[in-house]
Structure 1
Amino acid sequence: MTFNLLIILFFSYLYSFHTSAGPLLLTCGLNSGGTDADGRKWEPDTKYLVAGMDKSAATKSDVQDPSLPSVVPYMSARIFHSGSTYQFSLQNPRSRTLLRLHFYPSSYPNVDVSKSYFGVVAGSVLLLNNFSAHITAQALSQSYLVKEYYLTPSKSPFLNVTFQPAENSFAFINGLEVIPAPEIFNAEPLLVGSYVDAQTFSTIPVVNSNMETMYRLNVGGQFIPPLSDSGGLMRMWYDDSVYIYGAGQGVAVTANASIGYKKLPPYTAPLDVYRSYRSMGAYVDVNKVSNLTWNFEIDPGFLYLVRLHWCDSEMVKVNQRVFDLFINNMTAAREVDLFGLTDAVATPITKDYVVVTENVTDGGYRLWISLAPTNGTMPQFMDVLLNGLEIFKMSDNFETNLAAPNPSISDLMRKGHKMEHKDFEENDSTITIACGAGGAAAVGVAVAVMCILCRRKKRAGSKGDSRTSWLPISRNLNNTNNTKSSSVVVISTDAASNCRYFSLVEIINATNNLDESNIIGVGGFGKVYRGVIDGKTNVAIKRSNPSSGQGVNEFQTEIEMLSRLRHRHLVSLIGFCEDNGEMILVYDYIGRGTLREHLYNGNKTTLSWNERLKICIGSARGLHYLHTGSKYTIIHRDVKSTNILLDEKWEAKVSDFGLSKTGPTMSKGDVSTAVKGSFGYLDPEYFSRQRLSEKSDVYSFGVVLFEVLCARPALCPNLPQEQIGLASWAPRNVKLGKLEEIIDPELKGGISLDSVAKFTDVATRCLADHAGDRPTMGDVLRNLEMALQLQQKYMADGDDGSTTSQQILPRDIDESRPNYHENNDLTFSLYVNEQGR
């Protein structure tokens, strides 16, 4: 008996090395562990490292930045030169796990952190991919990073966290936190947009969604440190004031009533969140025509859960304070009456909403949250209220990916570094950026740059205030993004003379004061309105998002390009406006919208194969003109079905030249450039090598061709893995002779097999991995014209009762085929390592 007891105790002792009775805090590379500035104990990481221990090394930073909140865990690190795994025993695998990763991309002996690229996988969830802590910290103007994740319950009693360096690179980590978390995402939040569009409430399940914390704000209050958080989760809650848009800051108020959780679980948020709030103030006349708005930079192409914390400690009956909630300019909730929801004073509640974000190509995406008083119920006060706000990036039930490309370093930041460090190289490899994240900020004057840098240094060095000076997890709002003036827009004399200049008054008159009912589209640059100029001419008016300083480069490029390009198959620019800091472009109105709308977004028009071929030919002619018809080669860089417009005669017009590149060197070969474009259409060679050529447009157009044939989006995350990417799925099925399995069911007959064979042959060659194996756009055009001739010959022969060409037989529409609605066309993050980086 004694022997058996010793055996049990021995194995219990061994097991204790891999389990934790509560929150587990690991300082990496520090064998003795340590205590942070908050008094929290951190363990060494060595006993949890089960794979790759022999290829890792402990190290210490050479430099301690004054903004670091604590020496532990940031001044020590573990370096991995090959794949390495930490393993943690989960107390309750059926509950969520809160995982935090701490990075301090500083100077370490014998390694260059600027050359560190790696991925992190927790369980089966891809958290980071081709991640550069150095680039991210520079772009966000932070010295250290905290990445926080809520992982769904696991079928395994263990959680494995694996660090995988990119080829010829290394990974590193300074600290990890593994905390058992209660199920704080147990509701089904409202899907924003369904209320307005369908007049019905739609919810989305989140129980199987892994989450990344993007922002956590104590609205109207001060920074709340980890030890003051509730539920043992040790979260940090930040001041919201830096995210408020415009001059309407409202007023920060402290509750004058006793606050208790009542029916709300204590772990939801600390009571300090509900004791402070922000409202609009007592100016009724001002409040009637204004709102309280916050805006946040996020990664495009994901779903986001927005959680609002409310606690009204003032109103004692219904219809005293009533307001509307808007998320991304869509109505999320109407006539919110907090007393009506709780039927009590000083009672905390939360409400969750999910918003779908689109892919953008102008370098960034912003999430807007607005509260506006409503007069619909004739409330006693014209006011709003918010206590706390959390924003989480979501994975969905089909996709276990939360990774996004590294953010970009803005032009302003780059210029500031160059002024501060004379040896800064503008084309340094450390600022190479992956497509689809971050953005190009307006270049400010030197004095402004230095003032901003000086303020940052002063703030970072303030004793006792360093932690609260840094902005929330993952993101930092660069104040320069909100600075925009016409002085930063430089239009050449030649461009200005070739198009019309509009005043802002003319734009307002043309759109009926920018009436929302005139909106015909929304893109990465901003909203597109239908308008009328000179009392008779229909135009499309594209207005840059007025909250952002981004898009200046795209604005200038569009004007410079289209002012000197005139072609039947290119959209025509009429003029522009830059009054009052606006960036507005005016085009010919193209009445039938985008090609995509007529393929799979529920439009009533079904295009015949003959019509689709003519549209493809028109598009190819426009692109061929860009590549060969002007003084220099012009590369569009964002060819996709939403950038091909159709006029009343179904003529194709290539649009959106904001990302285009041109120059005398273009005609002599490919050029090195920061990657821009849309996921699903992006040339893999351009993506992996940053080498751009006209063959990059050819690749993107190949994806469009298969969109036309298959009537499905370039990326479908809700499909099985092998079907997600059209660029790989369609050619594979063509090669296997399964053409009828991929062709649009609406094309049920009357199609020449010879025509389709010619079409798929050229589309497949467009998608060759190497640019040298792809045809030129001129070759593509000739093959499409031949496919049209074969189709028209088949149709003519059919009229005579004879057939000289095989036909794809009619077939029933497959009921199991996915409904490719716009909401399913989510941007899917590419795994950069698969592209050779």
Structure 2
Amino acid sequence: MPASTLFPWLLLLTVVSLAAADGGDADGSTVTGQIRVSCGASASATDGDGRTWDGDDAVSGVAAGASYQDPSLPSTVPYMTARVFASSYTYSFPVKPGRVFLRLYFYPSTYGNLSAAADALFGVTAGGIALLRDFNASQTTLALGCAYVVREFSLNVSSGATSLNVTFAPSSRQPPGGASGSHYYAFVNGIEIVPTPDVFTAPVPTFANGGRPSLAPLRGDTAFQTMYRLNVGGTAITPGADSGGFYRTWDNDAPYIFGAAFGVTFEKDSNVSIQYNPPSVPPYAAPEGVYATARSMGPVAQINLSYNLTWILPVDAGFYYLLRFHFCEIQYPITKVNQRSFFIYINNQTAQEQMDVIVWSGGIGRAVYTDYLIVTAVDSGQTDLWVALHPDLSSKPEYYDAILNGLEVFKLHKYGFNTLAGPNPPIPPKKINTVDGSRPESRKKSVVYAAVGGVAAGCLLAVLVACLFAYAIRGRRRKAEADQPADGLFGPTKSSTHFDPVQK
């Protein structure tokens, strides 16, 4: 649907005047000017994270209450009320020029005599960008196996602008099987706007292009959609625990790991403190909880050389994607250069060789992130984005391993079409269980299918591990002296049993 069709001549306008959040630092680590609207609500209320949501005084649409409160909802605010639109409607929010997070909250329920599952099909535009097109919140939540969905976008409010317009427009198509004159409707439960520094165009990302990475500067007016924000090796981080006052959600990465080769997860040593390095790595880059946990391949070098630690992330085909990798060495003995070096692969392309976190960060406990740009093949529907890590032996590192602390994936809007809109995700044959309701906490369908082959590989790996352990135990029994160092998280030292590719 062209973006122009979302602005029919009967468009209604309103200005929602809201109070700005208190506080703020000069470095942008605490955000001012935040706006939250609990659509359809008549008064202000506070959610489970302590955020205050103002009531909705829209002059169009119908205020409605949800008929059922799903137990997985994190709070009644803003999910239990909605604003329902039979025709296009625009909210106009007072904002300052610069980049903002725009979050849209949807809880598909029955509102009055309207069923969100069958009758809600609509588009959303903001700042001239089509964010959603023919969006069906009910199908989306069924596909993700959750009760509600939050769509997060990063938009750049142009210089001189004083407002951000957000338009909801029901689809012009007639519902299948509907009575003559029946139409789709649009609805929204909550709208959140959080001003941010420019967190995307600097540093300049590396474009992974057939194994020949190159720098790829991004335009300042690029719009982004958050596809994934993962706390790798750690538990989910709720919006209230995010850094910088941005209220981001960080999900556990385990549902997206390919096959049975999960590697190992661990937390930082008690005597390691997380250190940021402003301005290149400000504290708002990611909360400490992201850098304080990690996933690595495991303690056995031979096993690590036989597989890739891989994540599979379904995305919309035909778009560019920015991938942000968060790293931090958090456990001893990894303190020096060339102790751990690895490859980063994206869609089977080499994005980074000799990734040494100590080199990039400057030492143990120091946070760092790096960005890569990838383009998916032009196609309809969804495609899988593959991210993989594997030891790089070219510098003969001390340990054959790889590590990751956090991963974010952002979709870039198509410049010629001014759109971020993708199709509704396909509904899997079986319902997916969830933990927090906001995103899936089990593998998506494509990952489940891929895991079938991974199980077989995992069994072979398990047999090899058992053989190695048995061999090690036998060797120790033959020794009369107890002069060998104990195996730690990263396994024995290279001088003992680590595989060396130059040895015969």
TM-score in terms of structure 1 length: 0.47
Q: Say yes or no: does 1:146 pair with 2:150.
A: yes
Q: Say yes or no: does 1:279 pair with 2:296.
A: yes
CA offset at residue 16 of structure 1? 9.0
Match of 1:305 in 2: 322
Match for 1:207 among 214, 220, 229?
A: 220
1:183 match: secondary structure = coil
Match of 2:17 in 1: 17
User: How far apart in 1 are the matches of 2:148 and 2:391?
Assistant: 39
User: How far apart in 2 are the matches of 1:548 and 1:389?
Assistant: 25
Match of 2:54 in 1: 43
1:73 match: secondary structure = coil
Match for 2:168 among 163, 175, 178?
A: 163
Match for 2:38 among 17, 24, 27?
A: 27
Match of 2:62 in 1: 57
User: How far apart in 2 are the matches of 1:16 and 1:100?
Assistant: 16
Question: What are the Cα deviations for residues 551-603 of structure 1, in whole angstroms up to 9, with x where unaligned?
Answer: xxxxxxxxxxxxxxxxxxxxxxxxxxxx99xxxxxxxxxxxxxxxxxxxxxxx
Question: What are the Cα deviations for residues 382-414 of structure 1, in whole angstroms up to 9, with x where unaligned?
Answer: 11110000000101444420001222223x24x
Q: Is the 8 A contact 1:20 1:89 kept in 2?
A: no
Match of 1:111 in 2: 114
User: How far apart in 2 are the matches of 1:207 and 1:548?
Assistant: 43
Q: Say yes or no: does 1:193 pair with 2:196.
A: no
Question: What are the Cα deviations for residues 258-283 of structure 1, in whole angstroms up to 9, with x where unaligned?
Answer: 11213311111111111111111211
CA offset at residue 254 of structure 1? 0.7
Match for 1:338 among 344, 354, 357?
A: 357
User: How far apart in 1 are the matches of 2:85 and 2:214?
Assistant: 48
User: How far apart in 2 are the matches of 1:333 and 1:352?
Assistant: 10
User: How far apart in 1 are the matches of 2:448 and 2:237?
Assistant: 29
Q: Is the 8 A contact 1:115 1:169 kept in 2?
A: yes
User: How far apart in 1 are the matches of 2:421 and 2:16?
Assistant: 32
1:71 match: secondary structure = coil
Q: Say yes or no: does 1:265 pair with 2:270.
A: no
Q: Which has the higher contact order (CA 8 A, sep 6+)?
A: 2
User: How far apart in 1 are the matches of 2:17 and 2:52?
Assistant: 16
User: How far apart in 2 are the matches of 1:206 and 1:345?
Assistant: 34
User: How far apart in 2 are the matches of 1:42 and 1:252?
Assistant: 37
User: How far apart in 1 are the matches of 2:16 and 2:86?
Assistant: 28
Match for 1:371 among 389, 412, 418?
A: 389
Task: Evaluate the alpha carbon distance shift between residue 178 and residue 281 of structure 1 in structure 2; reply closer, same or farther with a 3 A threshold.
Answer: same
User: Structure 2 matches for 1:500-539, cutoff 5 A?
Assistant: none
User: How far apart in 2 are the matches of 1:154 and 1:26?
Assistant: 23
Match for 2:105 among 102, 105, 112?
A: 102
User: How far apart in 2 are the matches of 1:232 and 1:99?
Assistant: 14
Q: Is the 8 A contact 2:38 2:191 kept in 1?
A: yes
Structure 1 or 2: more strand by fraction: 2
Match of 1:383 in 2: 401
CA offset at residue 18 of structure 1? 4.8
1:17 match: secondary structure = coil
Larger CA deviation: 338-347 vs 265-274 = 338-347
Task: Evaluate the alpha carbon distance shift between residue 200 and residue 172 of structure 1 in structure 2; reply closer, same or farther with a 3 A threshold.
Answer: closer
CA offset at residue 140 of structure 1? 2.0
**Aligned AA for 2:138?**
H
CA offset at residue 290 of structure 1? 1.6
User: Structure 2 matches for 1:594-609, cutoff 5 A?
Assistant: none
Question: What are the Cα deviations for residues 685-729 of structure 1, in whole angstroms up to 9, with x where unaligned?
Answer: xxxxxxxxxxxxxxxxxxxxxxxxxxxxxxxxxxxxxxxxxxxxx
Q: Is the 8 A contact 2:101 2:153 kept in 1?
A: yes
User: How far apart in 2 are the matches of 1:482 and 1:225?
Assistant: 25
**Aligned AA for 2:187?**
F
**Aligned AA for 2:325?**
L
**Aligned AA for 1:293?**
T
Q: Say yes or no: does 1:175 pair with 2:178.
A: no
Q: Say yes or no: does 1:395 pair with 2:413.
A: yes
CA offset at residue 360 of structure 1? 3.6
Match of 2:28 in 1: none
Aligned residues: 412
User: How far apart in 2 are the matches of 1:108 and 1:399?
Assistant: 33
Q: Is the 8 A contact 1:297 1:477 kept in 2?
A: no
User: How far apart in 2 are the matches of 1:548 and 1:127?
Assistant: 35
Match for 2:94 among 89, 94, 97?
A: 89
Question: What are the Cα deviations for residues 198-252 of structure 1, in whole angstroms up to 9, with x where unaligned?
Answer: x462424242210000100111111111111111100011111111111111111
User: How far apart in 2 are the matches of 1:409 and 1:228?
Assistant: 31
User: Structure 2 matches for 1:626-665, cutoff 5 A?
Assistant: none
Q: Tell me, which stretches of 5 or more residues in structure 2 are unaligned?
A: 1-14, 22-32, 173-182, 458-504
**Aligned AA for 1:224?**
I
User: How far apart in 2 are the matches of 1:105 and 1:351?
Assistant: 37
User: How far apart in 2 are the matches of 1:394 and 1:342?
Assistant: 27
Q: Say yes or no: does 1:471 pair with 2:471.
A: no
User: How far apart in 2 are the matches of 1:470 and 1:16?
Assistant: 27
2:164 match: secondary structure = strand
Task: Evaluate the alpha carbon distance shift between residue 548 and residue 87 of structure 1 in structure 2; reply closer, same or farther with a 3 A threshold.
Answer: farther
Task: Evaluate the alpha carbon distance shift between residue 131 and residue 16 of structure 1 in structure 2; reply closer, same or farther with a 3 A threshold.
Answer: closer
Q: Is the 8 A contact 2:319 2:414 kept in 1?
A: no
Q: Tell me, which stretches of 5 or more residues in structure 1 are unaligned?
A: 1-14, 414-451, 460-465, 485-545, 550-578, 581-837
Match of 2:306 in 1: 289
Question: What are the Cα deviations for residues 40-95 of structure 1, in whole angstroms up to 9, with x where unaligned?
Answer: 2111121xx4xxx24x11000111111111111101101011111111111x31x2
Task: Evaluate the alpha carbon distance shift between residue 391 and residue 159 of structure 1 in structure 2; reply closer, same or farther with a 3 A threshold.
Answer: same
**Aligned AA for 1:312?**
E
Match of 2:24 in 1: none
Q: Is the 8 A contact 2:206 2:213 kept in 1?
A: no
Match of 1:242 in 2: 255
Task: Evaluate the alpha carbon distance shift between residue 23 and residue 327 of structure 1 in structure 2; reply closer, same or farther with a 3 A threshold.
Answer: same
1:136 match: secondary structure = helix
User: How far apart in 1 are the matches of 2:125 and 2:444?
Assistant: 33
CA offset at residue 115 of structure 1? 1.2
Q: Is the 8 A contact 1:261 1:271 kept in 2?
A: no
User: How far apart in 2 are the matches of 1:191 and 1:298?
Assistant: 18
User: How far apart in 2 are the matches of 1:292 and 1:30?
Assistant: 46
What is the aligned-residue RMSD (CA, Å)?
2.3
Q: Is the 8 A contact 1:229 1:236 kept in 2?
A: yes
Match for 2:378 among 344, 356, 359?
A: 359
Question: What are the Cα deviations for residues 1-20 of structure 1, in whole angstroms up to 9, with x where unaligned?
Answer: xxxxxxxxxxxxxx993563
* Structure of higher CA gyration radius: 1
Question: What are the Cα deviations for residues 500-537 of structure 1, in whole angstroms up to 9, with x where unaligned?
Answer: xxxxxxxxxxxxxxxxxxxxxxxxxxxxxxxxxxxxxx
CA offset at residue 108 of structure 1? 1.6
User: How far apart in 1 are the matches of 2:18 and 2:336?
Assistant: 54
